[in-house]
Amino acid sequence: MSVPDPAHPGEPTPPVRRPASAVPPAPAPPAGTPPPAPPTAAMAPVPAPAPVAATPPPVVAPATAQPLYPAGAAVPVAPVVAARPTLDAGRFWAGVAATAVVAALVAVVGVVVFQEILGIDLVVGDLFATGSTTTALVVGAVLAAVAAGAVLHLLVLTTPRPRAFFGWIVGLGTLVVALLPLTWTQDVTAAVATGIVHLVVGIAVWSLLSGVLTWTRRPAVLG
């Protein structure tokens, strides 16, 4: 912009040019403002370390096995002993005693049903001269249970399949005892009723002792 020169009226005063390097000062920051942090120089990226090749472990040759016994010497061999099963004898014979009680009660029930209710006289072989049908059947049932328990105990200790042998022995013995009254009397009704009582007693003894064996047999041990 031109301004008139007072020394030479009528002539415009040449415009005043500011040097290009002149820059207006920056305004002062308000009081209490912390000074700006100086610019930080950009850090150069750190190169990643080069991978280190894994060194294989050293190969160690196995040591030569030394023979325990010299060549030509006799090597002792431990004898192989077969495993044998065992029984918890205390619990087993407690189960036999309980089985004998159940067998006696089955005999009493048979006497009540056939002789007292149906009026059929049972035929018994009174080997112990008890003089009573009920007593003879009860004694016979108890002895049968105890004898069956002894046979089962012996089979467990001596045979490979005691349960199978016990089932056959008790089954055939019960069949014989059930048919035996037919040879004692001509009264078929009394003989059949007595045979039924014997049959039920035998079934009770077999089933109960089989369960006792299951719960009292111990695993086989070497010895």
Adjacent-strand bridge partners of 221: 84
Token couple for 134: 């009920």
Task: Please check whether residue 177 is in contact with residue 147, taking contact to mean a CB–CB distance below 8 angstroms.
Answer: no
Go through 197-214 and write b for each residue having 16 or more CB atoms within 10 A of its CB, e for each that does not.
Answer: bbbbbbebbbebbeebbe
Task: Find tokens 């619990």 and name the residue.
Answer: 91
Structure tokens at 163: 């349960």
Orientation angle between helical segments 188-216 and 162-179, nearest 10 degrees: 170
pTM of the model: 0.61
Per-residue pLDDT in tens (0 to 9) along the chain, 223 residues: 445 555 555 555 555 555 554 555 555 556 555 666 555 555 556 666 666 666 767 766 666 666 666 666 666 666 655 566 678 889 999 999 999 999 999 999 999 999 999 999 999 887 777 788 899 999 999 999 999 999 999 999 998 999 999 999 999 999 999 999 999 889 999 999 999 999 999 999 999 999 999 998 877 655 4
Domain range annotation of the chain: 90-222
